[in-house]
């Protein structure tokens, strides 16, 4: 019973190590459209920052309390 539990954990560990190795290889190879993706993310970030800049003054409540 104890051997079965330890054997199962060993198989899971080997599987996870192999999966990690595969992911590392994919990361090192990179993707052909990686720079394109980076440009898109930069553009989206700039757009969101601009929207945020215009949205904050509109959504702030006045400092004077209403009676």
- The pLDDT tens digits for 34-58 are 677 788 889 999 999 888 887 777 6
Quote the distance between the C-alpha of residue 1 and its chain's center.
40
- How is residue 39 written in tokens? 């440009």
- 0.75 exceeded by pTM: no
Examine residue 64 and state whether it is found in any structural domain, yes or no: no
**pLDDT over 70 at 9, yes or no:** yes
Among candidate residues 14, 19, 39, the one with its CA nearest the CA of residue 27: 19
- The pLDDT tens digits for 10-40 are 888 888 889 888 888 877 776 666 677 788 8
Examine residue 10 and state whether it is found in any structural domain, yes or no: yes
Number of domains observed in the structure of the chain = 1
Where in the sequence is the domain holding 37, given as residue range(s)?
2-56
């Amino acid at each position: 019973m104890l051997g079965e539990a330890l054997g199962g954990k060993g198989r899971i560990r080997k599987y996870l190590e192999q999966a990690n190795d595969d992911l590392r290889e994919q990361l090192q190879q990179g993707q052909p459209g990686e720079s394109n993706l980076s440009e898109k993310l930069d553009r989206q970030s700039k757009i969101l920052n601009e929207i945020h800049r215009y949205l904050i003054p509109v959504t702030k409540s006045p400092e004077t309390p209403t009676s």
